[in-house]
Amino acid sequence: MDEVEAGMAAGWLEQLYEPRSVAVVGASDDIRLPGGRLLQFLLDYGYAGNVYLVNPNRAEVQGRRAYKSLLDLPERVDIAIVLVSAAASIDVLEQCAALKIPAAMFGNSGFAEIGAEGAQLQERVSRIARDAGIRLVGPNTNGIINTRNGFTATFSPVLDQKGLVLRDGPVAIVSQSGAVGAAMYYDGQRSGLPVGRLYNSGNEIGVTLEMVVDALLDSPQFNTVLCYVEGLRRPSLFIQAAHKARRLGKRIVLLKSGATASGAKAAAAHTASLSGEDRVYDGVLQELGVARARGYTHLLDIGRVLVAYPHPFGRRASILSMSGGVGIMLTDALEKAGMGLAAFDEAVLAGLEPLLPAFLGAQNPLDVSGGPFHHLDRLRAMLQLFDRNPHSDITIVAVGSFERRQMEIAEVLADEARRLEKPLFVVWFGGGDQATRHLNALNVPCFPDAERLSQAIVPGLQAGTRQPGRSGDVVPDVAAARAVLSCAREAGRKVIDEVGGKQVLRAYGIDVVREQVVDSPAAARAALDVLRLPVVAKLRSDALVHKARAGGVRLGLATSESVCAAVDDLLALARRLQLPDADVVLQEQVPAGVELLLGAKRDATFGMVITLGIGGVLTEAWDDVQVRLADGDLDVHDMLERLVHQSLLDGTGGRPKVDPAVIAPTVARFARLVRDLADDIDAIDVNPIIVHDGARAPTAVDTVLFLR
Amino acid sequence: MDEVEAGMAAGWLEQLYEPRSVAVVGASDDIRLPGGRLLQFLLDYGYAGNVYLVNPNRAEVQGRRAYKSLLDLPERVDIAIVLVSAAASIDVLEQCAALKIPAAMFGNSGFAEIGAEGAQLQERVSRIARDAGIRLVGPNTNGIINTRNGFTATFSPVLDQKGLVLRDGPVAIVSQSGAVGAAMYYDGQRSGLPVGRLYNSGNEIGVTLEMVVDALLDSPQFNTVLCYVEGLRRPSLFIQAAHKARRLGKRIVLLKSGATASGAKAAAAHTASLSGEDRVYDGVLQELGVARARGYTHLLDIGRVLVAYPHPFGRRASILSMSGGVGIMLTDALEKAGMGLAAFDEAVLAGLEPLLPAFLGAQNPLDVSGGPFHHLDRLRAMLQLFDRNPHSDITIVAVGSFERRQMEIAEVLADEARRLEKPLFVVWFGGGDQATRHLNALNVPCFPDAERLSQAIVPGLQAGTRQPGRSGDVVPDVAAARAVLSCAREAGRKVIDEVGGKQVLRAYGIDVVREQVVDSPAAARAALDVLRLPVVAKLRSDALVHKARAGGVRLGLATSESVCAAVDDLLALARRLQLPDADVVLQEQVPAGVELLLGAKRDATFGMVITLGIGGVLTEAWDDVQVRLADGDLDVHDMLERLVHQSLLDGTGGRPKVDPAVIAPTVARFARLVRDLADDIDAIDVNPIIVHDGARAPTAVDTVLFLR
């Protein structure tokens, strides 16, 4: 907990959202200006606290008395909303400090976002707030909203309309973009998503997004927090909040923008080049149980599903569709999203018989044509049948085109949804705006097409059984590993080659290929006393990057003669290439298996992360890895399952089957190594690490380690 | 052209959509029934022709005179709309025949879709219609619509509302699902897409979707045809229509459902298992210039873009966003969709200076905050600057949250769009329903988020230069190829192994590895007179499926001694495995290169298709191929560019660069082979075919050919 946080009392967020009184500094008559709009909203949306207006040039604003400065107010307000220029706001903040006003929202811009000059101002604001213990929202935020008490402290024009009724509820939106946050709040509200709070975090000099998310989870009101993130300033607090959410059965959903732009760049380590920002977010959020939204609409759609059905549900859907075509499209979309169709049991089949005309078949997806939507008792009966089928987890109704009768049908669906034990979802195609809003407002998620429905459902699905890795079985020889690192560092190296690298791996109980370093044919002959033939010979030199391309690798040496000849050859090659430091590594040849990559890198946001994926010489071409936090659960089963090229792992094609249970201890030991040595290393590649048949632990064949 | 088509006069579709008079058989007072609704719509939506009602039980329906039968009508109508039971409709159709009524729409169901009994009725309907030369719409269709003349011959409840104004225009919708088609027509209309016609094709016993698409392209009114397809009944006519569309500069967009469900299944040939229905559609539509929609909303979205901008445009976007966050999301989404940002030229930078406050930077995406949306002359000026920038192809404006002022802003955007030379697109986030509809109605495509915008734009982009393959350089020895096939057929084989297969390839001028078949060490020694060392030895037997796994392959045999020893070994293995037909293939070892797969298979819809992709022993794991029609253009550049694992092809990792120009002649020759022998073969795999450095043609190393 840093200084700012330490200065805050528990319940600080509640205090921010529930001020008894507020001052608007920079209040204006002109609703084209922030100080005009924000004031108007506070008055229009029913905020019941005292609202004081401050404007040095006016005695009256929007028909209410205006004060020259905060110092003239008749009471100490709970929050000052500051909408004057950046330069002028310094004085205002000093007045807040003098008056011991506990919180301020800086809706003005002109700070760090405009460059060096603004950054200086921002530093002054930050210092004054910190010294005075003022909770600071922003600067450069367009505001925050508490739906419950009408504290609509925003100047976003989304609220600029008559007749908008705001609905309180368990969803909160926290956004690093004011425009995005305000638009989401509004699009959520008008489509029936009960958004209780909006927090636009602006430049985050005091309160950051992570702090708000964390505090919202403590409130019994909120079970779903939707976040728009451009970059996490306090990733460890975010991780902590995610763990809290999991403990409490609440959900965080995150939309990360800018992920492609700052994507994977070329890097020395495979692991680093394969694990760009987008993949790291994918892996870390997956691990934390945070749902990742792929876009603006998707974020709201996920929110809709999680609010309606906070308890995870299964993947088998029963579909009732008024159109065969939409039934097929739903089947396609569910399959693409990793779901499937429920089998109709005897009871469903028997029950459907009197409800369906003879010419419609009783299969899933059930094409009912228009009938049950004209005879709504049949619709109800069918939904009940589906709900009682033990092979079915959710029900999806596809309906549409009934413009005139949409509300009648929607009422029945909403009424049934209340009775059903399992989640009910609706696809409404061909019109139905009113029905869609109504259903969503009653927590029956309703979408205009199959793709949006299936993409929105995914984060609500039950996760597989978590299978955290275990490494408790081996006590690592940390001293031996550290010795390799310091030795390399003393020699001025930034890179530790495969020989040193495998010593480090071995110190952590990871199986490595047996090898000997030799510098003459005679030494090679001696080495063969401890190595089993056939062996591989590799020329080793700091200056030799691509051994194989330089002709520096000899495979399948099966006799001591061929080994000695190869060593002789390679040393001659080294002389030709002018590599005075060269020697030769003799390695036992590991039987063919599945070549994986196991790696680690320092991520700019999340620190050390572990990468597991398809390895071998074509690693970059496969481009198929999963990333997780080094100090996370490391569910190897889940990581392997999410790789794209599954047929490499499934035991087909004469390859060994890659069993997560066999790999997991190695991955766990590697993660322990990474955590222990995190301060000293930037990246490690173990590639390939070869997976064998049966229960034998995988063997690390090559590795490279990049010092910090 | 089949019988049905031959019986039709030119302009048949126009006649269908513009009847001077119509009879509704089964007209009803009850608008819950098809015969009630359809009649009501015809009367409500302004159809000006004569409408006669037929109902044997009523003298009056919906306040109008009803006739007992078609035979009682005072004139011969142009179309009979039949909404009585399937059984009763036979008589009606016979009356049509007797009266020489030229067209009938069967809106009733109870035909082939319900099973054998219905199929018999359908066959009778089909025969009567064919014999009498009656154009038949349906059966089992919910109708067709001509927006222009109010001929709303549908009973879909989408039209069941007051105040719906239909707008004519250049978009046509043709659907194999009535509910989907009607919903699309309505969702299109109400969102500003000018849909001139709807055709729901039902069971297609007379008129099929392909015939309608083809005929619509002949009409000067239509430039964009949106199709919902469950299966093409006349794929060759569809291909013909697609070529026509390209010639005329018109566009077809297709949504294919059921693609995942009937996806790739295990098959003997790699090519067949890799080229499931979904990939075949992808490849064929790509080749034909038909845009493929990924879902219901996407289909309409693409329509919106193509109607607004029928001429293809470039990939460089200038973005003006009122929110930095939405600007970043747009950048992400464009990049994912293969587009990018335009560079601002000097003129843009200079022009922006007086228009932007100092604290906003002049970079793309341009974050303008709210300013230009309050001062709309600035917005206009910025759009003009972007439009004149030669590095920019399209402009995207992201705006939102201005609920009260939305129409004012939309008017300015629409007005500017008319002046601009380059396409203008809008993302409207946070409300804006009215503005969105308005902009779309004025052909300024407007979407609620960055993802939908970018996905909708893609089909409007300029394609790369088409580089059709050429094979004119080699005269194939067709007789030699056919001899191999007949020889195998006479021997009762269904499969031709690599030795015979490579003879076929060689007959078409495809480079194959040099090889000899031997059955003893002595023969092997003789074979080495014509083969260059090192060689590979492979045991060959009809009963030996997995050579390598059985130990039947020896690589890198570099001396004649090792060759003879290997042959001896392999023949001994054959005896142990009891393979009396076994012999040994000696092959020159081809230097390492990039291993591709080249294949062909018979697709159930499109006939012979060509597959090109990543080959080698891990072909199935890479799962990365492109499919095209065997008699299409075979743009190898495009095929290679669309493979997922690009880094295998780009010359990195010490591999040769795969140059489309070098590969194209081989692919073209292979396609010629496939076309020539299409009647005799079901599938061919050439895997691997190895790509070399430089201009050397690739070498086919292994192949297998499946006879029909």
- Identify from B180, B190, B549 which residue to disrupt to test chain A contact, counting A C-beta atoms within 10 A and taking the largest count: B180
A478 falls within a domain: yes
Q: CA distances (Å), B131 to each of A585, B70, B89, B104, B587, in order?
A: 86, 19, 16, 14, 63
- For chain B, give the mean pLDDT: 92
pLDDT digits (tens, 9 = 90+) for B15-58: 999 999 999 999 999 988 999 999 999 999 999 999 999 999 99
Angle at B127 between CA B123 and CA B103, to 5 degrees: 110
Q: CA distances (Å), A566 to each of A351, A537, A545, A573, in order?
A: 78, 7, 20, 10
Query: In chain B, what is the straight-line distance between the N-terminal and C-terminal CA atoms, in Å?
Result: 27
Structure-model confidence comparison of residues B388 and B370, the more confident one: B388
* Tokens 């691509």 sit on residue: A546
For residue B169, the number of C-alpha atoms closer than 13 Å in the C-beta half-sphere is 22
In eight-state DSSP terms, residue A59 is: S
pLDDT digits (tens, 9 = 90+) for B56-83: 999 999 999 999 999 999 999 999 999 9
Minimum distance, in Å, between the CA of residue A325 and any CA atom of chain B = 6
Are B420 and B534 part of one and the same domain? no
Check residue B275 and give its pLDDT. 74
Which domain-ending residue is among B207, B226, B249?
B207
pLDDT band at B653 (very low <50, low <70, confident <90, very high): confident
Pairing of strands B60-61, B64-67: antiparallel
ipTM: 0.90
A109 falls within a domain: no
Interatomic CA distance for residues A369 and A346, integer angstroms: 22
Other C-beta atoms closer than 10 Å to the C-beta of A569 total 17
On whether the CB atoms of residues A698 and A680 are closer than 8 A, the answer is no
Say whether the peptide bond before residue A688 is cis (omega within 30 degrees of 0): yes
Check residue B2 and give its pLDDT. 44
- Number of structural domains chain B divides into: 4
Residue of B nearest to A296 (CA): B449
Domain span at A337: 313-460
| Residues 6 or more apart whose Cβ sits within 8 Å of residue A17 | A144, A146, A149, A151, A197
pLDDT at A545 over 80: no
Interatomic CA distance for residues B90 and B122, integer angstroms: 9
Other C-beta atoms closer than 10 Å to the C-beta of A59 total 9
As a whole-number percent, the residues of chain A with pLDDT over 90 amount to: 84
pLDDT band at B114 (very low <50, low <70, confident <90, very high): confident
Check residue A264 and give its pLDDT. 37
Are B365 and B390 part of one and the same domain? yes
Q: Would residue B314 be called left, alpha or beta, if left means φ above 0 and alpha means ψ between -120 and 50 degrees? A: beta
Cβ distance A325 to B177 less than 8 Å, yes or no, reads yes
Lowest mean pLDDT among A7-11, A172-176, B265-269, B558-562: B265-269
pLDDT at A269 over 70: no
Pairing of strands B21-25, A681-691: unpaired
Interatomic CA distance for residues A42 and A50, integer angstroms: 10
DSSP string, A299-310: HHHHHHHHHH--
As a whole-number percent, the residues of chain A with pLDDT over 70 amount to: 95
DSSP string, A602-616: EETTTEEEEEEEE-S
Q: Which of A297, A358, A620 sits opposite B448 (nearest CB)?
A: A297
- For chain A, give the mean pLDDT: 92
Cβ distance B331 to A183 less than 8 Å, yes or no, reads no
A164 falls within a domain: no
Cβ distance B623 to A294 less than 8 Å, yes or no, reads no
pLDDT at A110 over 50: yes
Q: Which two tokens stand for residue B536?
A: 């590979």
B268 falls within a domain: no
Q: Which two tokens stand for residue B223?
A: 């430039």
Backbone Cα Rg of chain A: 32
Residues found in chain B: 708
Check residue A463 and give its pLDDT. 78
Minimum distance, in Å, between the CA of residue A383 and any CA atom of chain B = 21
Cβ distance A182 to B405 less than 8 Å, yes or no, reads no
Cβ distance B429 to A549 less than 8 Å, yes or no, reads no
Check residue B396 and give its pLDDT. 98
For residue B642, the number of C-alpha atoms closer than 13 Å in the C-beta half-sphere is 18
B292 falls within a domain: no
Cβ distance B401 to A161 less than 8 Å, yes or no, reads no
Lowest mean pLDDT among A384-393, A520-529, B552-561: B552-561
Structure-model confidence comparison of residues B78 and A550, the more confident one: B78
Cβ distance A109 to B359 less than 8 Å, yes or no, reads yes
Which domain-ending residue is among B207, B230, B254?
B207
Residues found in chain A: 708
DSSP H or E segment with residue B691? strand B681-691
Cβ distance A113 to B429 less than 8 Å, yes or no, reads no
pLDDT digits (tens, 9 = 90+) for A338-355: 999 999 999 999 999 999
Cβ distance B259 to A332 less than 8 Å, yes or no, reads yes
As a whole-number percent, the residues of chain B with pLDDT over 90 amount to: 84
pLDDT band at B115 (very low <50, low <70, confident <90, very high): confident
Interatomic CA distance for residues B671 and B685, integer angstroms: 13
Minimum distance, in Å, between the CA of residue A323 and any CA atom of chain B = 6
Residue of B nearest to A117 (CA): B359
Are A626 and A506 part of one and the same domain? yes
Minimum distance, in Å, between the CA of residue A99 and any CA atom of chain B = 32
| CATH at residue B431 | 3.40.50.261
Are B197 and B177 part of one and the same domain? yes
Residue of A nearest to B647 (CA): A621
B324 falls within a domain: yes
| CATH at residue B7 | 3.40.50.720
Give the burial string for A279-316 (b: 16+ CB within 10 Å, else e): bbbbbbbbbbbbbbbbbbbbbbbbbbbbbbbeeebbbb
Check residue A544 and give its pLDDT. 83
Are A488 and A623 part of one and the same domain? yes
Pairing of strands B79-82, B64-67: unpaired
- Identify from B296, B322, B360 which residue to disrupt to test chain A contact, counting A C-beta atoms within 10 A and taking the largest count: B296
Interatomic CA distance for residues B207 and B214, integer angstroms: 11
Are A453 and A470 part of one and the same domain? no
Are B171 and B55 part of one and the same domain? yes
Which domain-ending residue is among A444, A460, A476?
A460
| CATH at residue A521 | 3.30.1490.20
Other C-beta atoms closer than 10 Å to the C-beta of A419 total 11
**Edge-to-edge, what's the strand order for the sheet holding B553-557?**
B515-518, B583-588, B535-540, B553-557
Interatomic CA distance for residues A113 and B469, integer angstroms: 54
Are A430 and A567 part of one and the same domain? no
Are A602 and A682 part of one and the same domain? yes
B241 falls within a domain: no
pLDDT digits (tens, 9 = 90+) for B250-306: 999 999 998 664 433 445 666 677 777 888 999 999 999 999 999 999 999 999 999
Are B61 and B159 part of one and the same domain? yes
Check residue B260 and give its pLDDT. 60
Pairing of strands B21-25, B79-82: parallel
Are B495 and B622 part of one and the same domain? yes
List A425's β-bridge partners, or say none: A396
Are A346 and A452 part of one and the same domain? yes
What is the torsional sign of CA B63, B69, B72, B75? positive
| CATH at residue B621 | 3.30.470.20
B213 falls within a domain: no
Other C-beta atoms closer than 10 Å to the C-beta of A404 total 14
In eight-state DSSP terms, residue A330 is: H
Q: Which two tokens stand for residue B133?
A: 């030369």
pLDDT band at A6 (very low <50, low <70, confident <90, very high): very low
Number of H helices and E strands in chain B, helices first, is 25, 31
| Residues 6 or more apart whose Cβ sits within 8 Å of residue B696 | B662
List B73's β-bridge partners, or say none: none
Backbone Cα Rg of chain B: 32
- Identify from A429, A557, A614 which residue to disrupt to test chain B contact, counting B C-beta atoms within 10 A and taking the largest count: A429
Check residue B197 and give its pLDDT. 98
